[in-house]
């Protein structure tokens, strides 16, 4: 649920070199999509040589990547680079755009594989990739199990996106020095997000109800992957000093966690007409959020009847009335106030880290806007 | 089934530099395993910081990678580098070993994900990764579906192996020039093997019975991935000229396809005590091999009753007697002779390409040994 994360705009333009002039005042998502489109074009011949229907399957991946999303991670990376002193009109800006856009291919793998793991059937209003191939298999009356075929193809296309993410950043045109600086960040980011995904399913399976376990998922699956490491990557692309990198990472971690906490609140209290998800979706889906863990901890300490209601309700097909009851229980326990306080504290700490950093004034303003959009009360 | 692919031996030794002396006359697999072990060590702190049981899951991946396999792909890559003129006693040899060993992490992803796709329960005498986590989930009586949990963890660990393959080659210590030469080979190899895997499941689902479809899978899932591209990678690491690269690629493609054709024969005619698989395993598993496609093409042209026997039998739980009958049908149709002739032709073409190349005499001898081991009649 990234409805409130805004990507902002880019001004890649007025190149002073003799190459073709950069587009001016384009929205960032469009700029990243252009880079992704070029990358897919660069792979077409290789894929077409392999033949046998591979090209058609890859075109499904391409459509998935190009169809949407707010390009949040590349936007943070780009803004991190700008804030460190990157020149959007300089000759190296295009390479930076390509390197940042490569994050969207990591994200494509994460989404395609996560949708298998979560057994999700739709994303962005379209069937998920595994469901699309399952439907194709069924429609064509092919042999074997349709669901298994869909998952198999989606596993392979997710792998391809992950492999191509590397290809894209490696071929981005950034300098060898920049590539060397980026390398450990790129590595840590992928190791962390896969760790966050593992912790998520493992906590759920083990029935780990602690706030600490839920917070660890927020830290690695959301905060590090969505904001902290993209900003760090941008800083590394430029060659920023350790002080700015520290400030970015603090800002990114705090805002990333605050964003997830806001998302947790929306998942229980959000208006379906705004979130696009059923009322109380996280409760029905059985998501072990920090919000829920905090409510449970308070209930266990002071209100056994409330604890029983929460434990019996989570992960079941709740009616609207039952959702309302659980909302009231969670609110009455003080968990909503707890989470709102945490969000406020995190946003303030993030703002302090950013304000006292050496980031450019323009990027501070933009990052602050992005932070507010990501964490503001909107239900 | 790689029982006959020999990795040969390495002589990484007698370093003339002031660094620690290289191990002498070590078997190649052990050298690659040492490099892989060092790589896993280098990731331990990052993984341990993430916490929450991630380290334990990653140790399962580590055990899987270190436990076995013949290290065929790194061995071909290393031999390709040697054959182009690489100095195993030079100061750059360790970096080349690391770059070659990274192929084993790509292979770990391929195996872990393929075992999900093929619903395989054992590999190398151990439970497959998804079955290991499925068993853990069941044993610990965690909540949710055990099989789905096992697959979810295995998807994530396969992704991690793929991401780490990139990290390992990027951090191998090869020169920026070598890295630039290797980049397109590395990219093509992964795009091809994922294509080969896709074609494999897609042909089976669509019921594509043509020799051409089966041969395309051999080309990309086996030949390019196992021999052609590893040799190409080795040549690119050294900076070999286009002529040697062409010779390697011809040799690798031909031997790779011949190896798969030999494997096809073993899958139907192999002695279970040698192959470690049930008699007629490929027939029962419903594998659409070139051998089977050739038999079917001949049957369709001349013997409708044989065609019916083949189509009704493939992919069913055949008794030993039924396997014997199908073997006889395939032999009588002339398909075995066809395939043996193809193997001979390919091995000869490969030998010619290698002989007339500028590869060193020692590497020619070694590659010839590896080719013979991979393709010789052994049932």
Give the separation between CA B24 and CA A250, rounded to whole angstroms.
48
Residue range A118-146, pLDDT digits in tens: 999 999 889 999 999 999 999 999 999 99
How far is B20 from chain A, CA to nearest CA, in Å? Answer: 25
pLDDT of residue A379: 53
Give the separation between CA B285 and CA B315, rounded to whole angstroms.
5
A106 in Cβ contact with A226 (< 8 Å): no
Give the separation between CA A304 and CA A308, rounded to whole angstroms.
6
Residue of B50, B103, B146 best to disrupt the A interface, most CBs of A under 10 A? B50
Q: Are strands A126-127 and A122-123 parallel, antiparallel or unpaired?
A: antiparallel
Q: What ipTM was assigned to the predicted interfaces of this complex?
A: 0.93
Mean pLDDT, chain A, whole residue set = 91
Q: Could you say which of B155, B166, B206 has the minimum Cβ distance to residue A166?
A: B166
Cβ contact, residue pair A50, B195, below 8 Å: yes
Q: Could you say which of B116, B167, B220 has the minimum Cβ distance to residue A187?
A: B167
Taking alpha carbons only, the member of B184, B165, B163 closest to residue A42 is B184
Question: Average pLDDT for consecutive 10-residue bins of chain A (379 residues)?
Answer: 46 41 57 97 97 96 92 96 96 97 98 96 93 98 95 98 98 96 98 97 93 96 96 98 98 97 94 80 91 97 96 93 96 97 97 97 94 81
Q: Which chain A residue is nearest to residue B173, measuring alpha carbons?
A: A180
Residue range B2-60, pLDDT digits in tens: 434 544 444 454 434 434 333 333 478 999 999 999 999 999 999 999 999 999 999 99
Cα dihedral A164, A168, A170, A172 in deg (nearest 10): 170
**Residues in chain B with pLDDT values less than 50:** 1-4, 6-11, 13-26
B156 in Cβ contact with A155 (< 8 Å): no
Q: Do domains A1-174 and A175-379 have the same CATH topology?
A: yes
Contacting residues of B for A163, CB less than 8 Å apart: 162, 166, 187, 190-191, 194
DSSP codes, B52-98: TTHHHHHHHHHHHHHH----HHHHHHHHHHHHHT--TTSTTHHHHHH
Q: DSSP character for B280?
A: T
> Among 3.40.605.10, 3.30.479.10, 3.30.460.10, 1.10.600.10, what is the CATH number of B1-174?
1.10.600.10
Counted residue by residue, chain A has a size of 379
In sequence order, what are the residues at sequence separation of 6 or more whose Cβ sits closer than 8 angstroms to the Cβ of residue B258?
B342, B343, B346, B347, B350, B371, B374, B375
Q: Where are the domains positioned within chain B?
A: 1-174
Residue of A54, A168, A196, A225 best to disrupt the B interface, most CBs of B under 10 A? A54
How far is B290 from chain A, CA to nearest CA, in Å? Answer: 15
C-alpha gyration radius of chain B: 22
Q: Could you say which of B52, B109, B167 has the minimum Cβ distance to residue A159?
A: B109
Decide if domain A175-379 falls under CATH 1.10.600.10: yes
Contacting residues of B for A202, CB less than 8 Å apart: 52-53, 57, 153
A266 in Cβ contact with A310 (< 8 Å): no
Residue range B290-308, pLDDT digits in tens: 999 999 999 999 999 999 9
pLDDT of residue B264: 94
pLDDT of residue B5: 54
Cβ contact, residue pair A52, B203, below 8 Å: yes
For residue A209, what are the CA distances in angstroms to A181, A283, A289, A327? 38, 14, 9, 18
pLDDT of residue B275: 75
Cβ contact, residue pair A198, B162, below 8 Å: no
Give the separation between CA B195 and CA A335, rounded to whole angstroms.
49
């Amino acid at each position: 649920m990234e409805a409130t994360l805004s990507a902002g705009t880019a001004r890649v333009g007025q190149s002073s070199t003799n190459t073709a002039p950069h587009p001016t005042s384009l929205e960032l998502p469009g700029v990243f999509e252009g880079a992704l489109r070029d990358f897919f074009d660069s792979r077409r011949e290789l894929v077409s040589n392999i033949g046998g229907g591979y090209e058609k399957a890859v075109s499904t991946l391409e459509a998935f990547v190009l169809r949407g999303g707010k390009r949040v991670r590349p936007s943070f990376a780009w803004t991190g680079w700008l804030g460190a002193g990157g020149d959007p009109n300089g000759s190296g800006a295009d390479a930076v755009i390509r390197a940042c856009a490569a994050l969207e291919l990591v994200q494509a793998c994460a989404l395609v594989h996560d949708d298998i793991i979560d057994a999700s059937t739709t994303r962005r209003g379209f069937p998920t990739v595994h469901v699309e191939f399952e439907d194709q298999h069924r429609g064509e009356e092919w042999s074997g199990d349709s669901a298994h075929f869909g998952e198999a193809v989606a596993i392979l296309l997710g792998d391809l996106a992950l492999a191509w993410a590397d290809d894209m950043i490696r071929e981005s045109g950034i300098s060898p020095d920049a590539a060397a600086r980026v390398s450990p960040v790129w590595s840590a980011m992928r190791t962390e997000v896969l760790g966050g995904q593992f912790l998520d399913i493992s906590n759920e399976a083990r029935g780990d109800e602690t706030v600490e376990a839920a917070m660890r998922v927020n830290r690695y699956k959301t905060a590090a992957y969505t904001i902290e490491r993209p900003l760090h990557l941008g800083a590394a692309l430029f060659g920023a000093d350790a002080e700015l990198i520290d400030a970015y990472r603090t800002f990114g971690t705090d805002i990333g966690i605050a964003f997830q906490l806001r998302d947790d609140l929306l998942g229980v209290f959000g208006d379906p007409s705004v979130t696009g998800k059923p009322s109380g979706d996280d409760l029905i889906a059985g998501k072990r959020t920090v919000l829920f863990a905090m409510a449970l901890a308070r209930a266990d300490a002071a209100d056994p009847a409330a604890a029983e209601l929460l434990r019996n309700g989570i992960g079941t097909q709740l009616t609207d009335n039952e959702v309302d009851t659980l909302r009231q229980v969670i609110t009455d326990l003080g968990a909503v106030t707890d989470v709102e306080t945490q969000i406020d504290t995190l946003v303030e700490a993030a703002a302090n880290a950013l304000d006292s950093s050496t980031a450019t004034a323009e990027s501070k303003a933009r990052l602050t806007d992005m932070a507010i959009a990501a964490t503001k009360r909107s239900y």
